[in-house]
Amino acid sequence: MPDSTDPAVPEKACPLGVCDGSGWILGPEDVARPCECREARLKRGKVRGVASVIPPRYRGVSFDRPPVSDMANDLETKKVVLQVRSFIDEVDARIAAGRGLWLMGNTGTGKTTLAMLASKEALAAGHSVAIYSLPKLLAHIRRTYDSAPGGDSYLDFFERLTSVDLLHIDDLGAEKKSDWVLEQLYALINERYEEKRSIIVTTNFDRAELEDQIGHRIVSRLTEMAEPLPMYGDDNRKESWEAA
């Protein structure tokens, strides 16, 4: 049965209401020209196979609802919330320029929530997004080494990770340090850096600690791709648990 996400398979309708769903417009003398919807369909097909779904816990995040609305009124996090809002308001220009977000700070301060909100809005704006925690990303890379012929090879997966408009990595630095981990991170981040592809990262480490964990070369590139946004304070998850 054909895969409906395959760009070669016509969709039921053109999202722009222009073509017949095939991605092509038939002009005079039966000469076909591509519809504007075709580029978006080809992009979706190219990045098929990456995790691009917002986890259920974060699907309802909004600037108008807690915990983000509470963070916007907190002096320790208000500035970061405003910077995330600015990224979202200018998401097309930021992604086109290869600019992203780098949220760092204590556990439970809302880093992942804000990062997921930015990724959610990027998806809503029509951009392709890959969302992974670092351990899950590295586990997926390891699985590609054992893929059967015709399966999801390392090169195929790497190309998809470097092709998406926005790569979101949660818990950067969480994996045990090793030469293999550093090699994978450097290859991925350096490729996106050179191609001016946007990235969002969250980490519990400050810059010096992150350099010790993943190396100066990687952190140096991140610094040029996204301004570090510190988020320090109490563990809100712990406070919620104690209040229950």
**Would you list the DSSP string of 120-175?**
HHHHHTT--EEEEEHHHHHHHHHHHTTPPTTS--HHHHHHHHHHSSEEEEESTT-S
- pLDDT (average), residues 123-149: 89
Position 19 scores a pLDDT of 76
Q: What is the mean pLDDT of the chain?
A: 84
d(CA 110, CA 233): 10
- Contact yes or no for 171/205 (Cβ under 8 A): no
- pLDDT (average), residues 59-75: 94
Q: Does residue 209 or residue 18 have the better pLDDT?
A: 209
Residues in CB range of 123: below 8 A, 6 or more apart: 52, 54, 129
Task: Determine whether 233 is exposed, middle or buried from the number of CB atoms within 10 Å of its CB (0-12, 13-18, 19+).
Answer: middle
Position 234 scores a pLDDT of 64
Residue 231 — φ and ψ, nearest 5°?
-135, 100
Q: E strands along the chain, which residues? A: 24-26, 32-34, 101-105, 129-133, 166-170, 198-203, 228-231
Local structure of 230: helix, strand or coil: strand
Which residue's entry shows tokens 């979202």? Answer: 88
Position 49 scores a pLDDT of 58
Q: Which amino acid is at 156?
A: D
The C-alpha torsion from 183 through 185 and 186 to 191, rounded to 10°, is 130
- pLDDT (average), residues 117-128: 94
Q: Domains in the chain and their CATH numbers?
A: 1-41 (no CATH), 47-243 (3.40.50.300)
Q: Does residue 189 or residue 15 have the better pLDDT?
A: 189
Using a pLDDT cut of 70, give the percent of the chain over it.
Answer: 76
Check whether 50 has a pLDDT greater than 50: yes
Handedness of CA 2, 17, 49, 114 (dihedral sign): negative
Position 146 scores a pLDDT of 78
Give residue-wise pLDDT tens across range 193-226: 999 999 999 999 999 999 999 999 999 999 999 9
Segment among 32-46, 113-127, 210-224 with least mean pLDDT: 32-46
Segment among 83-92, 106-115, 202-211, 231-240 with least mean pLDDT: 231-240
- Contact yes or no for 226/102 (Cβ under 8 A): yes
How many degrees, rounded to 5, is the angle at CA 183 between CA 182 and CA 187? Answer: 115
- pLDDT (average), residues 96-110: 94
Tell me the pLDDT band of 15, cut-offs 50, 70 and 90.
low
Check whether 47 has a pLDDT greater than 60: no
